[in-house]
Every structure is written in C-alpha cells, then in structure tokens.
Amino acid sequence: MGWELLSWTANDPVAVPKPKRSLLPVLIALFLVSYGLMALLVFEQGRTIDNQRGLIRVLFSDSSELTHLKDKIFKKQHAEAQAQAPAKDRSQAQPPSTQASPRDNAKNSHKADKLRKPPKPPADGEILDARRTVWTI
C-alpha cells in the first residue's frame, strides 16, 4: 500500500495512510443475493416435483380406470359370444353373409387377447423398454 504525504510541518513530514477501498461489503452482498436465488430455485423445484407427482398419480388412476373398462368390455363381449354360440349351433338357417367366418372370429379373439395379456418379461438377449417400466413414488 502506498503512503501519501499529505502535509508538511515545519520540522518533519507527516505520513498518513491512504484509505483502503474494501470489496468485502460488495462480496457479502453478492453472496447473500446468490444464496437467496439458490433458495428460490430449490423452492420452485420442490413445487414442480410435487406438481409432477400429482399429475403422475392422476394419469395412473386414469390408466387403471381405462384398463378396468377394457376388461369389463372384454368380459361382456366374451359372455355375449358364449351366449350366441349355442344359438348359432341350433340355427344353421342364417345366410352366410351375416355369419362371421372362423377366420374373423380368430382375428377378433386374438385382438382381445392382446388387450388382456400382460407383457412378457424380456428374454436373456432382449432389451427392456424403459418407457414402459412402472415406477411408484
């Protein structure tokens, strides 16, 4: 730090130290502002995570309800098909255009089975699709 001679007396000079300009108050202010912003960021992230958790729960309940409705529809169609099967055996007089072919029945049965069966676990060489993995919070 430099010394500056401010005044002379009759016999000897008086050395007065130069006032120091400290950056400590500025650094403290920046430190407090940065921690305030970081606290605000953490708070906002917490709110976002809670909102996403709620959205996931709503979507999961909607998905469960949809699966339940598909299951009810499948059971209803299966019961109707079982009820119509004996009636078709008794009445062979229906025209062929209104009767479903065995091939069509197999296609419809296969589609219903696809809706009902859960996915199989991957084999040793297969890759698991992470998009379909269910995570609970």
Let me know if residue 122 belongs to a domain.
no
Distance of CA 88 to the CA centre of its chain: 49
- Rounded distance between C-alpha atoms, residue 78 and residue 108, angstroms: 11
Let me know if residue 53 belongs to a domain.
yes
Let me know if residue 107 belongs to a domain.
no
| pLDDT, tens only, 90-114 | 565 555 555 555 555 655 655 555 5
The domain in which residue 64 lies consists of 46-82
Let me know if residue 75 belongs to a domain.
yes
Count helices and strands in the chain by DSSP H and E runs: 2, 2
Let me know if residue 61 belongs to a domain.
yes
21 pLDDT higher than 70: yes
pLDDT band at 41 (very low <50, low <70, confident <90, very high): very high
Let me know if residue 94 belongs to a domain.
no
CB within 8 Å of 1: residues ≥ 6 apart: 17, 18, 20
Asked whether 53 and 137 are in contact (CB, 8 A), the reply is yes
Q: pTM of the prediction?
A: 0.41
- Rounded distance between C-alpha atoms, residue 137 and residue 123, angstroms: 28
**DSSP symbol at 98:** T
What's the pLDDT score for residue 13? Answer: 61
- The number of distinct structural domains making up the chain is 1
Let me know if residue 5 belongs to a domain.
no
pLDDT band at 66 (very low <50, low <70, confident <90, very high): very high
What's the pLDDT score for residue 52? Answer: 97
pLDDT band at 18 (very low <50, low <70, confident <90, very high): confident
Let me know if residue 41 belongs to a domain.
no
